[in-house]
Every structure is written in structure tokens, then in C-alpha cells.
Amino acid sequence: MSKRFILPLVALLACAVHSAAQAVPSACAGFADQQLNLDVEQGAQRDQQLPVPIKRLAIGDPNIADVQVLDKRDFLVTGKAEGLTSLLIWTSCSDQPMRTVVRVGARAVGDVAGATGVGAGSLPNQVQTDIRFVEVSRSKLKQASTSLIRQGSNTFVLGSPGSLGGLEVSPRGVLDGGTFGSTDGFNIIWGGGSSKWLGFINALEGSGFAYTLARPSLVATSGQSASFLAGGEFPIPVPNGDNDTITIEYKEFGVRLTLTPTVMNDKRIALKVAPEVSELDFSSGIRTNNIAVPALTVRRTDTSVMLADGESFVISGLISSSTISNVDKFPFLGSIPVIGALFRSSNLDKDDRELLMIVTPHLVQPLAANAALPKLPGEGLRDYDPGFGEFYFLEDGRFDKRKASSGMSH
């Protein structure tokens, strides 16, 4: 390359570097002069974009408004209750936060999502979220000598050797072929692809590797919260100092889930998920007025994700450990000092359990008023009256196999 071409090229590169260096300061200078006030209605969302990258956000009163970071320069504000609150925005321009006022107004009369009329869209505003809570015994899974198998470029299988039905699995992780199906082991299968991935967990309670705690399906309107609780309540005595009486209050425990979906468009769903699992712990409880009050062992997390319709994600890492000590001894002889050790045995077991949660959101719409509803299982047998022979001698009690012979329609 000749010198007459080198000099203009160097000058062009220098100008490009200088322009890039001044791009961020110029954006920060314009952003510093802005007065950002956010107005949003109760139960509505507002997508706000900034000209500079966002580091983090902090809302003053989370009961009035909620804020979620969607992108590098984009965040979402959700109005929860009528009122005013402050919002602090940390950006790459300064270490000091920018103070913003968020004003949540009352919902306008007649403002209904999905209303028809000129300019009305067909974007669904209801989200059905399928959740599966699975608790895995990490200790038993390690004892099973699990192996990792890889097939193709995007498929992985985790399971105990020989536990995958239809597959020949060796401890070295060799996959000979076949179909996926668990018979007596714990498996995790992840199938990759362009935009879809599948988290599949299959465990039988008889194997002891894992068991399903709950499988709820929640439906919520965009921007509104839905909750689920599978558990119970236990009484807590509360002393009343005025008249020396005791009142009873009840505390909930079990598997709890609170989620808030937000429909961004016809393909993306912003989902805020807060799962919690609590158990009664009598070993850490207290006694008050000769009444034993158990404590609660709680595992919880709170996260926000962006998913497409039908995509799934897995939350893990909620681990609990328990240690059980058992002492077996021969009566009387096992209690003798020194030589009593010959007549007793001690066993120490440690159990590590991890909670997994698989979440799959779907955009749904209600059925039309004149739509035919699908038949429920067993609906065709509502008026079926089996005879003496069918009632006592029908194989496995499967009355549905005899519907055609009894003149009933499927």
C-alpha cells in the first residue's frame, strides 16, 4: 500500500476512535439535564428507555410500583397501588443515582385490556403458567454413581447407569441408542434448538431419588399476581399482656409460589417468580407456657426472566441438609462405660436435598361463549349401570371398554 493511501486511512481511524470516545460523554451530558417523571396507571405497565446503559434500579415503595430491568437501556414500571414513590437509577454516567418520581394514578373507568374498537389489537392479556416442584435427594443420586451422556450437539442426559429404559448406559457414559424413558432412575434431559429448550425431570417415588411436591397451573392477567400454596397452617400461642390470656394465631407453611406475568408482545412474556418451601422444625422450636412451638425451615428465591410462549426455565440451588444419628445397643450391656462400646453401634446419616422448579408460561385466551367444551374423563360413564357379571368379573374394573356393547357412545 502506497503512502498516499496510508495517511488518509490513519486519519479516518483516528476520527472514528475520537467519535466513539465522545459518544458516551455526549449522551451522559444530555441525560444529566433531563427531568424524568414517570406516570403510570394502577395495574398498567410502562416501558421506559434511557439513552445510557443502566447499572441498577431501586424503588422506594414496592407496594406502590414495581420495576424490572428488561435490557441494557430499557426497564419496565408496573403500577400496583395509587400513590407516589421515588425511583433511583444508577447509570454508567455517574456513581450518584438519578432521582425520579413515579406517580401511580387510579385506573381509568372503562380501561379494559383487550377491548374492541378502532385500533384495538388481538394481543392476549392472560398467561397460564405451568409449574412443577421437584425435590431431589443429592445424597442418593451420588450413591447411584450417576453418569453424563452426550448425544449429538445439543442433547444431554443425566442418569444413573442402567436406569434409562430402552438405552444401554455404561458407567463411562456411552449412549448406544434407543428411546428416552425412565424406569427406576432420576434423569435430566436438555434438548437444544434455535429458540426452544426442554427441561425434563422424571423420577419415581419408589426409587427414592426425587419426588414431585406439587404441579400447579396458575392463570393471571398481565401485570397482576397469582399465588399458590400447598401445605397447611400450624397454631402459634401469642400471650396477651393486658389480661394474661393467650390468643392463637396461625402460620402458613408448605410449598408457596407467587408470580407476576407481563405480556410484552405476542411472543415475549416477562415473568417475576417468587417460590418458597417451608417445613416444620421441632428441633429448633421453643416452649412457651409449657406449649411446644415449632420453628420453620424456609427456602425461598425471587427472580425475573423473559421467555417466549411455551419456553421453560429451571430454578435450582435451594438446598437443605439434615443429619440423623442413630445408636443401637444391647440392653444394659451397651450402657456400661468403656466396654459398653463393644455392645452398641452408631450410625450417622446425612441427607442433602435440592429443590428444582420448572416453569413454563403460555399465552391463553378464554373459549368463546358458544364453543363446545371437551368431555371430562369418565363423563360418558355417568349413567352407566354395570350388571352383576360386569361388576364382579370385569377385568381390572375398566368399564369404559364395555361402553360400545352397552349402547353408549364414545
Complete DSSP assignment for 165-226: TT--B-TT--B------BSSS-EEEEE--SS--EEEEE--TTTTSEEEEE--EEEEETT--E
Is the predicted pLDDT of residue 7 greater than 70, yes or no?
Answer: no
Q: Which residues contact 230 (CB under 8 A, 6 or more apart)?
A: 213, 214, 216, 254, 255
C-alpha torsion sign, points 325, 326, 329, 332: positive
- 197 by Cβ neighbours in 10 Å (0-12 / 13-18 / 19+) ranks as middle
- Quick one: which H or E segment has residue 322? strand 313-329
On whether the CB atoms of residues 377 and 400 are closer than 8 A, the answer is no
Rounded Cα distance between 191 and 50, Å, is: 36
Over residues 175-187, mean pLDDT: 39
Q: How many residues does the chain have?
A: 410
Cell for 99? Answer: 432521582
So what's the pLDDT on residue 287? 81
pLDDT over threshold 60, residue 200: no
Is the pLDDT at 6 greater than 60? The verdict is no
**Mean of the pLDDT values across residues 11-21?**
46
d(CA 220, CA 226): 6
Q: What is the pLDDT of residue 213?
A: 78
> Of 378, 320, 379, 380, which Cα lies nearest the Cα of 352?
320
- Greater confidence (358 vs 1) lies with 358
Task: Find the mean pLDDT for residues 128-146.
Answer: 72
Helix (H) or strand (E) holding 101: strand 98-105
In the chain, % of residues over pLDDT 90: 1
Q: What is the mean pLDDT of residues 234-246?
A: 79
Q: For the chain, what is the total number of helices (H) and then of strands (E)? A: 3, 21
Return the pLDDT at 143: 59
What's the pTM value of the predicted model, to 2 decimals?
0.49
Tens of pLDDT, residues 263-302: 888 778 888 888 888 888 888 888 877 778 888 888 888 8
- The full set of domains in the chain, from first to last, is 21-105 (2.60.40.1080), 129-144+209-319+353-364 (no CATH), 379-410 (no CATH)
